[in-house]
């Protein structure tokens, strides 16, 4: 009997245990112990994982063994052909280093969009209305002495305001669809390229980032993190924004230069922020969390049972497709099947 290919799952299994069990029909699946750290992982890649063909990994893997950067990729055994990443954002993997090794990288586009957009809208309204500050003041027992809203600053309504969506991919468009009934005066977007009129749905494309930020009352960050978006929102760009701008980020923390954001929160230029992602997760600058006008959540954009299951399913489907056809289903956009002679 020929040996089944070894598949390594480095992420905790959440709702998809059956999917991994079913994969055992065609593969030997090994779930990495949660106590494995980077040093142990590198040892195991040379030992018990040395014939591994595919790896299912994700965000929690970063906390366990760190990024799949050039150094870690150099330790992957030659047998590795597929990495299936659990998440739409795949910035934790060095795509160039994987491509050089001929390793296909798949991500989870689409299945995360609804849950992330829901989170984004929650943060947008919460920041515009200072809901976290009201909650903090309520818990501090301030209501009886401070009156309306337990003393928190009165918020702003969407009506008549300009919403700017930075990155009008699948998540940005789902955010747009959810807020259309809220009555923003105008929705503008900045993107790598202009969308077709059907996808644009009446939103206005601004092709210059400085002009885009100068017009927006609320800026929603929905682009991926990569070399060209790292610190895209920096001190200089904050300076070009409107006084009292509201910032929402469910993309990646490092798209914003966090120390610049703190400076502009301190000065009051930023009226409020709704943040699900941070530059050095899982560590968050404590000053950022102390601002009562910052509504923060710990990267829970995709955290629903359904979305976690759907992501795990796509991770397994990508591995299954790789093992049976030689081609993952959702290869990341910066790798092309042609690059692999497929």
Catalytic residue ranges = 252, 281, 299
Task: Tell whether residue 56 is a contact of ligand GLV (CB under 6 A).
Answer: no
Task: Tell whether residue 301 is a contact of ligand GLV (CB under 6 A).
Answer: yes
For the CB of residue 203, give the shortest distance to ligand GLV in the complex, in Å: 23
- Span of 9-17, 68-76, 85-93, 130-138 interacting with ligand GLV by CB under 6 A: 85-93
What φ, ψ does residue 98 adopt, rounded to 5°? -65, -45
Per DSSP, 228 falls in state T
Q: Which residue shows structure tokens 């200072």?
A: 130
| Class of residue 146 by CB neighbours under 10 A (exposed 0-12, middle 13-18, buried 19+) | middle
DSSP per-residue codes, 7-43: EEE-SPP-S-HHHHHHHTTTSEEEEPPTT--HHHHHH
Task: Tell whether residue 87 is a contact of ligand GLV (CB under 6 A).
Answer: yes
Give the residue, chosen from 5, 89, 167, 172, that forms a contact with ligand GLV under the rule CB under 6 A: 89
Give the residue, chosen from 19, 98, 112, 166, that forms a contact with ligand GLV under the rule CB under 6 A: 112
What φ, ψ does residue 29 adopt, rounded to 5°? -100, 130
- Span of 1-9, 87-95, 137-145, 162-170 interacting with ligand GLV by CB under 6 A: 87-95
- Span of 70-78, 84-92, 160-168, 283-291 interacting with ligand GLV by CB under 6 A: 84-92
150-209 positions binding ligand GLV, by CB under 6 A: none
The number of residues that bind ligand GLV (CB under 6 A) is 6
Per-residue x/- track, 36-55, ligand GLV (CB under 6 A): --------------------
- Span of 43-51, 81-89, 145-153, 208-216 interacting with ligand GLV by CB under 6 A: 81-89
| Class of residue 61 by CB neighbours under 10 A (exposed 0-12, middle 13-18, buried 19+) | buried
Pick between residue 87 and residue 158 the one whose CB is nearest to ligand GLV: 87
Give the residue, chosen from 55, 88, 168, 315, that forms a contact with ligand GLV under the rule CB under 6 A: 88
Task: Tell whether residue 315 is a contact of ligand GLV (CB under 6 A).
Answer: no
Pick between residue 44 and residue 91 the one whose CB is nearest to ligand GLV: 91
* DSSP three-state, residue 290: helix
How remote is the C-alpha of 82 from its chain's centroid?
21
For the CB of residue 128, give the shortest distance to ligand GLV in the complex, in Å: 23
Instruction: Characterize the bridge pairing of strands 52-58 and 82-86.
Output: parallel
* CA torsion through residues 137, 142, 145, 148, sign: positive
Pick between residue 89 and residue 158 the one whose CB is nearest to ligand GLV: 89
Pick between residue 86 and residue 134 the one whose CB is nearest to ligand GLV: 86
Phi-psi region of 183 (alpha: psi -120 to 50; beta: other; left: phi over 0): left
Alpha-carbon distance 192 to 223, whole Å?
10
Q: Which residue shows structure tokens 């069990």?
A: 21
Supply 125's token pair: 């309204």
Supply 240's token pair: 């070009």
Give the residue, chosen from 10, 152, 222, 302, that forms a contact with ligand GLV under the rule CB under 6 A: 302
Positions in the binding site for ligand GLV (CB under 6 A): 87-89, 112, 301-302
């Amino acid at each position: 009997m020929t040996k089944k290919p070894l598949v390594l799952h480095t992420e905790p299994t959440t709702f998809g245990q059956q999917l991994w069990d079913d994969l055992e029909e065609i593969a030997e699946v090994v779930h990495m112990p949660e106590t494995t750290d980077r040093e142990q992982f590198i040892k195991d890649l040379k030992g018990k994982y040395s014939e591994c063909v595919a790896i299912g990994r994700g965000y929690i893997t970063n906390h366990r063994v760190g990024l799949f950067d050039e150094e870690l990729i150099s330790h992957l055994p030659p047998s590795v052909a597929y990495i299936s990443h659990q998440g739409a954002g795949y910035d934790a993997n060095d795509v160039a280093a994987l491509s050089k090794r001929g390793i296909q990288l798949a991500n989870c586009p689409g299945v995360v969009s609804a849950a992330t957009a829901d989170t984004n809208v929650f943060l947008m309204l919460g920041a515009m209305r200072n809901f976290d500050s009201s909650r903090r003041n309520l818990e501090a027992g301030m209501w009886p002495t401070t009156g309306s809203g337990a003393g928190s600053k009165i918020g702003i309504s969407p009506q008549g305001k300009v919403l700017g969506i930075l990155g009008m991919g699948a998540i940005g468009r789902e955010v747009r669809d959810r807020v259309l009934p809220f009555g923003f005066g105008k929705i503008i977007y900045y993107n790598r390229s202009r969308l077709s009129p059907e996808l644009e749905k009446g939103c206005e494309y601004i092709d210059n980032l400085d002009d885009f930020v100068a017009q927006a009352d609320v800026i929603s960050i929905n682009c991926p993190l990569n070399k060209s978006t790292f610190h895209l929102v920096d001190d200089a760009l904050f300076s070009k924004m409107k006084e009292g701008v509201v910032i929402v980020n469910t993309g990646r923390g490092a798209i914003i230069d966090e120390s610049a954001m703190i400076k502009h929160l301190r000065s009051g230029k930023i009226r409020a922020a709704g943040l699900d992602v941070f530059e050095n997760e899982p560590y968050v600058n404590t000053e950022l969390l102390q601002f009562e006008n910052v509504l923060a959540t710990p990267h829970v954009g995709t955290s629903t049972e359904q979305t976690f299951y759907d992501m795990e399913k796509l991770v397994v489907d990508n591995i299954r497709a790789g093992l049976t056809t030689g081609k993952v289903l959702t290869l990341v956009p910066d790798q092309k099947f042609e690059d692999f002679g497929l």
